[in-house]
Amino acid sequence: MSQFLDVAIEIAREAGAILRPEFDRPKQISYKGEVDIVTESDRRSEALIVARLRKHYPDHAIIAEEGSGSAAAGAKYCWHVDPLDGTTNFAHGYPCFAVSIGLAEEGRPVAGVVFNPVSDEMFTAARGEGAYLNGKRIHVSPIEKLAYSLVATGFPTHQRKRSANINYYWEFTLRSHGVRRDGSAALDLCSVACGRFEAFWEFNLHSWDTAAGVLLVEEAGGRVTDMSGAPYELGGPQMLATNRRIHAEMQEVALIAERPATGS
């Protein structure tokens, strides 16, 4: 696995080198949905990542957010690529975004890299080999209670009125040190992995948002499921990632927060 990881690290660093100077320049944005932004930087980063992965692994499948990936019949391995996670932050000059590259073997994440080119933080993990930040081993937080925890979530850019997440936000805010909404699911997962957050939850994330981050949390000693505690599947409708210790408590509060969706 470490050979795949080394290649992913090298590619994430190259993509970060595209994004970093572009972050300081004025951006041209266009819209994929009401508030779903895309920039030329998303496309340039993706073009580089996909080209490099194809060259290294022509028989692997690639799923990439901006659509330039490719299927490979019967492929055992599939790369899940978010060339710029946190595009809204990037477009507004808020320095919280990352390149996320995850490799899944028959649907199960086995290698993952999340790189923030502004803080120069490279989060890496390979199945069974631990999670690392800039080469140093990382672990989830030892905190045992939601009341002493800092947690995080995100809100969708599509069908915003259908999301009941504001109810969850409210219930978790009342029971914790606070809920952060930082705008990059990949980095939120890394923050759980390295103990900055005790938990992160979100609905309707895509496989490119989570493939690398899920592995980072698990390899750092955390737990990732859906809200009911069933195994999280890449691209599944619910994700709950925690330091393991507050997982059951998060699930209990999620039950309280569950309300029928309103609006359209």
The residues binding ligand IPD (CB under 6 A) are 82, 85-88, 154-157, 183-185, 202, 205, 209
Q: Which is nearer to ligand IPD, 46 or 245 (CB)?
A: 46
Q: Which is nearer to ligand IPD, 85 or 171 (CB)?
A: 85
Q: Which residue number is nearest to ligand IPD in terms of Cβ? A: 154
Write the interaction track for Ca ion spanning residues 57-76; mark x where CB under 5 A is met and - where it is not: --------x-----------
Position 82 contacts Ca ion (CB under 5 A): yes
Q: Which residues of 124-145 are buried (b: 16+ CB within 10 A; e: fewer)?
A: bbbbeeebbbeeeebebbebee
Position 182 contacts Ca ion (CB under 5 A): no
HEC per residue, 9-48: HHHHHHHHHHHHHHHCCCCCEEECCCCCEEEHHHHHHHHH
With CB cut-offs between 5 and 8 Å by kind, which of ligand IPD, Ca ion, none does residue 218 bind?
A: none
Q: Which is nearer to ligand IPD, 3 or 159 (CB)?
A: 159
Position 202 contacts Ca ion (CB under 5 A): no
With CB cut-offs between 5 and 8 Å by kind, which of ligand IPD, Ca ion, none does residue 86 bind?
A: ligand IPD
Q: Who contacts 236 (Cβ-Cβ below 8 Å, separation ≥6)?
A: 226
Q: Which helix (H) or strand (E) holds 214?
A: helix 207-219
Q: Could you tell me the sign of the dihedral formed by the alpha carbons of 21, 27, 31, 33, in that order?
A: positive
